[in-house]
C-alpha cells in the first residue's frame, strides 16, 4: 500500500507574480487595524510610524511595485487599500525604524475587508487577522497543523496499516468539507487540492472523482493536485495519457501563472521520462512565453542545464574523489557497477530521516552490485564523526573539504540537498532524485536487477 500524500507535511503556497496588467485589471481590498508596542519595550504609548508594506519587483524595472502601504498613527491605527492582480496569499512586512518585526501571510481578495491587529516586537505571535477570506484560511491552517502531526506519526510507523486507511480517509473528508462549505475562497481551493493529494495511492478512484470536481468548478488544479494526477496517469495509462491530462488542464485555466507552472510540469515530466528532445523544444517555447518572469527564467536555466548534461539516458559526468579511507574513487573505476552518488549535508534533517532507508536499499541491492558514494557538502570532519557515532558506514564516504564545493555545485547543478543520481552499469544516468523524491528510487533500481541479475 502506498501513502504518497503522507509526505506532504508542509503545504507551501508559492507567490509568483509575472503578469503586467493594466489598472483596470487590478483587484482591491480594504486593509485596516491597529499595531501597538509591548509596554515592556516602549512605555511611551506612541505607536506611530509603524509601516505595513507588500511589494514586488517586476522584470526589467528598477522600482518595486507597491501593492499595499500604510503607516500607523500615534494610537497605532492604520488603513488603506491593497491593489493586486489576483487573489492569493501575500506577505505583509511589518517594520519600524527600518527594523522588520514580522511578516504576516494575508489573503487579498477583491472586495474583501481585512482587519490586522498585532503587537511589536512579537508580531507573528500576537497577530490577529480577520476577514471573510482569512477566517476560512485560519480554519484550513488549523486542519493543516493537525494533519501534519498525524502524518508524522504515520511516517514513523506508529499507526497500523488498517488505521492509516481510516485516518487518511477522515482527513481527506475534512479538507473536502472545507472545500464544499466555503466555495469561491482561496482556502476552499487549497483544501480541495489537499483532499485530492491525500487520496493518492490508496483511493485513486475517489482522487480522480474529486480532481474532476475541482476542475469542473474552478477550471484549475493547484500544483499538489496536479502532481498526484500526473503520477496516477503515468503509472496506470502511460506518459502520453499524463501529457494529455496536462494539456487539458492548461487549456482549462485562463490564468497565466497556472499555465506557466503547468508547462513546467510538462517539461519536467518529459525530462524524467528521457524524452529530452521534446523537453528541450517545450523549454524553448517556455522561455519565449515567460521571458518577463525572473523566477521562470531562473528555473529554465537550471532545467536547461539538466536536459543538456544530466538527463536520464545521458552519461554521468566523470568524477574523482578521495574517500575518508584515502582511496580514490571515480566514475571510471566504478564502470561495470551501478551506483548512487548523493550530495548532502549531514545536518540536513531529511537526509537523517532517509538514512535508514538508504541502508536498507544498499543491503538489498548490493547483491546486484550496487555502490553508494556520499559527498558531504559544507560538512566538517567533526560533523561526519558525530553523524556516524551511532550509525554504521556501509559505503564510500568522500573526505570532507577535499573538493571545490562551488565547482561541484555548479557542475552537478545542485540547488537542494540531498540530491542523488542513480547511474547504471554503463555509466548512464537512470534518474536524479532531489529531496524526498528519493522514495521513488526503488522504481529506478528495478532497472538494475534486470541488467545485472544475481
4-11+134-309: CATH, from 1.20.1070, 1.25.40, 2.40.230, 1.10.287? 1.25.40
pLDDT score recorded for residue 58: 52
C-alpha 405/C-alpha 402 separation (Å) is: 9
pLDDT at 10: 30
- Comparing C-alpha atoms, which of 274, 286, 198, 206 is closest to residue 250? 286
DSSP 8-class letter at 350: H
Determine the pLDDT at residue 367.
Answer: 87
Residue 164: the pLDDT is 87
How many residues belong to the chain?
Answer: 454
pLDDT at res. 170: 95
Q: How far apart are CA 88 and CA 243, in angstroms?
A: 27
Interval 90-113: pLDDT, tens: 999 999 999 999 999 999 999 999
Question: Per the CATH hierarchy, to which homologous superfamily does domain 23-129 belong?
Answer: Immunoglobulins (2.60.40.10)
Contact 214, 199 (CB under 8 A): no
- Least Cα distance to 277 among 247, 248, 312 occurs for 312
pLDDT confidence of residue 62: 47
Give the 3-state secondary structure of residue 98: coil
Task: Count CA atoms closer than 13 A to 208's CA, side-chain side.
Answer: 12
What is the third-level CATH fold of 320-451? Glutaredoxin (3.40.30)
Domain boundaries, the chain: 4-11+134-309, 23-129, 320-451
CA 24 to chain centre: 33
Which residues of the chain are modeled with pLDDT < 50?
A: 1-24, 59-62
> Whole-angstrom Cα distance, residue 102 to residue 79?
18
Amino acid at each position: 500500500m502506498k501513502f504518497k500524500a503522507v509526505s506532504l507535511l508542509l503545504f507551501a503556497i508559492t507567490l509568483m507574480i509575472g503578469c503586467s496588467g493594466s489598472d483596470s485589471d487590478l483587484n482591491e481590498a480594504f486593509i485596516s487595524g491597529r499595531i501597538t508596542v509591548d509596554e515592556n519595550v516602549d512605555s511611551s504609548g506612541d505607536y506611530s510610524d509603524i509601516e505595513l508594506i507588500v511589494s514586488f519587483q517586476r522584470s526589467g524595472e528598477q522600482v518595486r511595485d507597491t501593492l499595499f502601504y500604510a503607516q500607523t498613527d500615534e494610537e497605532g491605527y492604520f488603513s488603506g487599500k491593497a491593489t493586486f492582480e489576483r487573489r492569493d496569499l501575500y506577505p505583509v512586512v511589518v517594520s519600524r525604524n527600518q527594523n522588520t518585526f514580522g511578516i504576516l501571510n494575508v489573503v487579498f481578495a477583491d472586495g474583501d475587508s481585512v482587519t490586522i491587529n498585532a503587537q511589536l516586537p512579537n508580531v507573528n505571535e500576537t497577530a490577529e487577522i480577520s476577514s471573510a477570506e482569512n477566517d476560512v484560511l485560519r480554519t484550513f491552517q488549523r486542519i493543516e497543523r493537525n494533519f501534519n502531526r498525524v502524518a508524522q506519526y504515520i511516517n514513523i510507523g506508529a499507526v497500523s496499516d488498517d488505521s492509516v486507511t481510516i485516518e487518511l480517509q477522515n482527513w481527506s473528508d475534512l479538507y473536502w468539507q472545507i472545500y464544499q462549505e466555503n466555495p469561491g475562497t482561496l482556502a476552499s481551493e487549497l483544501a480541495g487540492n489537499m483532499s485530492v493529494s491525500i487520496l493518492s495511492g490508496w483511493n485513486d478512484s475517489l482522487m480522480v472523482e474529486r480532481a474532476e470536481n475541482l476542475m469542473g468548478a474552478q477550471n484549475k488544479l493547484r500544483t499538489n493536485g496536479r502532481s498526484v494526477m500526473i503520477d496516477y496517469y503515468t503509472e496506470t495509462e502511460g506518459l502520453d495519457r499524463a501529457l494529455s491530462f496536462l494539456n487539458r488542464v492548461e487549456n482549462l485555466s485562463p490564468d497565466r501563472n497556472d499555465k506557466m507552472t503547468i508547462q513546467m510540469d510538462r517539461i519536467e515530466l518529459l525530462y524524467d521520462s528521457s524524452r529530452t528532445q521534446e523537453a528541450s523544444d517545450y523549454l524553448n517555447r517556455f522561455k519565449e512565453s515567460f521571458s518577463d518572469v525572473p523566477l521562470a527564467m531562473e528555473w529554465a536555466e537550471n532545467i536547461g542545464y539538466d536536459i543538456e548534461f544530466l538527463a536520464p539516458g545521458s552519461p554521468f559526468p566523470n568524477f574523482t574523489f578521495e574517500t575518508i579511507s584515502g582511496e580514490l574513487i571515480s566514475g571510471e573505476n566504478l564502470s561495470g557497477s551501478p551506483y548512487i552518488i548523493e550530495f548532502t549535508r549531514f545536518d540536513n534533517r531529511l537526509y537523517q530521516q532517509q538514512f535508514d532507508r538508504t541502508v536498507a536499499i544498499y543491503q538489498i541491492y548490493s547483491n546486484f552490485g550496487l555502490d553508494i558514494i556520499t559527498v558531504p557538502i559544507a560538512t566538517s570532519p567533526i560533523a561526519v564523526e558525530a553523524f556516524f557515532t551511532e550509525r554504521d558506514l556501509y559505503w564510500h564516504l568522500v573526505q570532507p573539504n577535499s573538493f571545490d564545493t562551488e565547482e561541484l555545485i555548479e557542475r552537478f547543478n545542485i540547488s537542494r540537498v540531498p540530491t542523488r543520481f542513480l547511474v547504471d552499469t554503463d555509466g548512464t544516468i537512470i534518474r536524479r532524485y532531489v529531496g524526498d523524491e528519493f522514495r521513488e528510487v526503488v522504481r529506478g533500481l528495478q532497472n538494475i536487477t534486470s541488467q545485472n541479475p544475481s
